[in-house]
Amino acid sequence: MITAYPFSAVVGLDDLKLALILNAVSPRVGGVLVRGEKGTAKSTIVRALAAQLPPVEVVAGCRFACDPAAPDPSCPDGPHTGAEESRSRPAALVELPVGASEDRLVGALDIERALTEGVKAFEPGLLAAAHRGVLYVDEVNLLHDHLVDLLLDAAALGTCFVERESVSVRHAARFLLVGTMNPEEGELRPQLLDRFGLTVEVRASRDPDERAEVVRRRLAFDADPAGFAARWREEEAALAERILRARERVADVVLPDVRLRQIAAVCAGFEVDGLRADLVTANAAIAHAAWRGRTTVTSEDVRAAARLSLPHRRRRDPFDAPGLDEDQLDDLLSRHDAPDPDDDPDHGPSGPGPEGPHDPGPEGSEGPNGADGADGPTPEGADQSAVLGDPRGEDRNAPEGDGPASDSGAPGERVIAAGEPYRVRPFRVPGLGESAAGRRSRARTPNGRTVGARLPSGRLQRPHLPATLRAAAPYQRERGRTGPGLLIRDTDLRESVREGREGNLVLFVVDASGSMAARRRMREVKAAVLSLLLDAYQRRDKVGLITFRGSDAELVLPPTSSVEAGAARLRELPTGGRTPLAAGLRRAAEVLRVERMRDPSRRPLLVVITDGRATAGSDVAGPAARLAGTAGVVVDCESGPVRLGLALDLAARLGAPAVRLDALAEGGLRDLVRERRGGAGPAGGHRNDYRKAV
C-alpha cells in the first residue's frame, strides 16, 4: 500500500489548506481550482487531504457507492431496499487523466447490445467511482472543453446523466472536485473558471529557511514513508476529527441577514458576473464558521470566503490576471457591516479558533506560498495595461519618441507599448483536419454536426440510427422477420461521421527591426498581434512567437496554449536593428518541423508580420520555399505614400494571402475598399493585388 504524505506535514500553503478543508466540510462550496507554478506540492496536498476524509458506509456490491441509509432511488444497480449488507471503506480518491475519453469519464453504454439484443448494459465511469469521495483532475486546463463541461455539470448537479441515442442512465455523483493547473500552459475559459467554487494561487516560498524545511521533510518522507507518517499520526488524527465535527456542525450554522447583505455587497462591489459568486461565498462562509467552531457566520467568515471565491471571477478577458484588492475588500466589508447582537466574544471576528494548533493559519493572512506576495494579483484600480499596453492619454499623432517607450539597454533598441486590441478577421487552415477540438478550422471531431455514416472501426461509439436501419431493412425477409420492427445484426451497424472545428498551431513571425519603429508602426503591430492572440485564445489554438531583428531570429515563445505568456513576451519585445527576414523564416520552418513530430494532427497557421524589407542575412527565396504549402497569411506593415510591395512578393513566395495591417480588423478590408473606391491606389500599383490576395 502506498503511504500518502501527511496533510499536516505540508509546509506553508495556508490558503490552499483552508480551501480544501472548507470543501471537505461542505461539498456545497463547489470544489477548488489550484493555480500555480510547477513543483509547489499541488498534487501532494490533494492526495494528502483524501486520507483525512471520514470513511463512508456503502451498500455491498453496489458499483455506485450508495449510502445504505439513503440509497439513490435511480441507482443502476438498484433498487436498494435498505436490507442489503453494508460495509465501510475509505473515501475514494479518483484521478482523471488528461487523455480520458468521454466514456471513461461518465461511463459507457453498450450500444451494440442495446440495438441488437435490447439489453441496457452500463459500465460506470470515473464520476461513479468518485461518488462520496474526491475527484482530482491534474492539468485541468488541458482537458477538452466538452469534458470540463460534463465534469462541472455533474459536480454542480450531484448527478451524472449518460445519454446515447434512445438509451439513458442516471446515477448520483457527489464528490469533492479539485483541479490543478499551471497557468503557463493555458487558461480555462472564464465560464468554466466560474464553475469552480474556490481558487487558490500557489507559489514556492522565497524564504530560505522555509524552503530548507520543505526539502528536509520530503527527504525524510522518501527515506522512510511509514516512519514519517507515524510521527505525524496524532496531528492527522486530530485534523480528521475536527473535519468530522465541522461536518456535523455545518447544518446548524446560521447565516444572519446582515452577513448575507454583506456578501451581496462585496460581490456587487467587485462587479462579478451572475449570482454564483454570492452562493459560493455564502456556502464557504458557513463552512468556515463550522470549521472555526461557530454556529453563526461572522464578518471574519465572509472575508475568508470572499478571498477564495472572488479572484477568479473578476477576469474580463484572457489577459487579465486573477486577483483581489484586499484593501477594497476590507472597505466593502466595513461599509456594510453591523454587529450581531448574539456574537460570542470568545468566537467573534477577533477571537481564536477552538483548536489553534490544527488551524491552517489565521484567515486573511497569506502564507509564504500564497498568492499575495511580491508577484501577487494586480490590485483593483491599478493599471491593467501592463500586458495590453493601454495607450490612453497618449497623442496618437505625436512622434514615435513621445509615446510610451523605454530604452532596453542595447544601442538603438526600444520597447514600445502596444495599442488597443480589436476583433480581427477570421483566418482558417484549408482542408479537413483531425486535431483537438477547437473553433478555427474544419475537422473530423467526436462532437459536431453529423455529415455522414460509415462502418465502425472497432467498438461502436456514435451510432447513426437512420443509416443502421437502412442497412438492415433489405434483409428482414431473409432473416425471417414478418412482424413490425426490424431485426438488426452486427453487420448493419453504422456510426456517425461528424464534422466540427479544430484548434490549430498559430505561429507568429514578427518583424521587430528598426524599420518597424518608424511612423508608430510597432505600436500598431503589437496591437495586431495582441488581437490575433485574443482570437487564438477564443478559438482554442496553441500559439508560438518568433521575432527577428539585428542579425538573427529568436523563438520568444515556444508553442504553448497560454496566450497570456505570449502577451507578456510581446509587451517586453524590444525594437531596433536590421531586418534578417530569411533568419525568421528559417526559424519558423524549424519550429514547425519539430511541432509536426510532437503533434502530427495539429495543423499550423503561419502569420508573418513584416514590411518585407530584408536588410540583413541571406536571400529569402530558400527559406520561403521550405514554408511553401504551409497555410498562412502575410500581414503587410508597409506604410506611407510610396510602397514597394515587398510583403506582397513574400506572400507570393509562400503561397499565402496578404492583408494590409490597417485592414486586419474584422470589416477593415470592406472599409478600406470603400475608402479607396474611385481614388488612386498605393504607389507601386499594388491596390488590386491586395484585393486579390485577401
Q: 52 near 244, Cβ under 8 Å?
A: no
- Cα separation, 162 vs 170, whole angstroms: 6
3-state secondary structure 164-215: ECCEEEEEECCCEEEEEECHHHCCCCHHHHCCCCEEEEECCCCCHHHHHHHH
Helix ranges, 117-144 (H): 126-129
Which architecture does CATH list for 408-425+504-693? 3-Layer(aba) Sandwich (3.40)
- Residues 53-103 pLDDT 10s: 888 888 888 888 888 888 888 888 878 877 778 888 888 888 888 777 777
Spatial neighbors of 322 by CB under 8 A, at least 6 apart, are: 35, 199, 201, 311, 312, 314, 315, 377
Cβ count within 10 A of residue 87: 12
- The reported pLDDT for the residue numbered 527 is 84
Region for 667 from its dihedrals, namely left if φ exceeds 0, alpha if ψ lies in -120 to 50, beta otherwise:
left
Q: What is the pLDDT of residues 320-374, one digit of tens each?
A: 666 677 888 888 888 887 765 554 444 444 444 434 434 444 333 333 333 333 3
Give the dihedral sign, CA 209/215/218/222.
Answer: negative
In whole angstroms, what is the distance from residue 335 CA to residue 12 CA? 32
pLDDT at residue 382, rounded to an integer:
36
Contacts of 83 (CB under 8 A, 6+ apart): none
Architecture field, domain 39-181: 3-Layer(aba) Sandwich (3.40)
- Alpha-carbon distance 21 to 229, whole Å? 20
With the C-alpha atoms ordered 62, 31, 6, 95, is the resulting torsion angle positive or negative? positive
Q: Are 611 and 636 in contact (CB under 8 A)?
A: yes
- Burial of residue 242 (number of CB atoms within 10 Å: 0-12, 13-18, 19+): buried
- Which segments within 611-655 are labelled E, that is strand? 632-636
Catalytic annotation, residues: 276
Identical topology for domains 39-181 and 408-425+504-693: yes
What parts of the chain have a pLDDT lower than 70? 1, 111-120, 164-167, 186, 190-191, 315-323, 339-416, 418, 517-520, 640-642, 666-694
Q: Are 162 and 169 in contact (CB under 8 A)?
A: yes
Radius of gyration over alpha carbons of the chain, in Å?
A: 30
Contact 450, 557 (CB under 8 A): no
Reported pTM? 0.67
Q: Which residues of 181-214 are buried (b: 16+ CB within 10 A; e: fewer)?
A: bbbeebbbbbebbbbbbbbbbbbbbeeeebeeeb
Please give the DSSP secondary-structure letter assigned to residue 26. -
Neighbour tally for 597: CB within 10 Å: 7
Indicate the domain borders of the chain: 39-181, 408-425+504-693, 444-501
**CA–CA distance, 517 with 522 (Å, rounded to integer):** 5
Beta carbons within 8 Å of 471's beta carbon, 6+ residues apart:
491, 492, 493, 494
Q: Strands of 573-627 (E only): list them.
A: 574-575, 604-610
Contact, 105 vs 147, CB < 8 A?
yes
Percentage, residues of the chain above pLDDT 70: 78
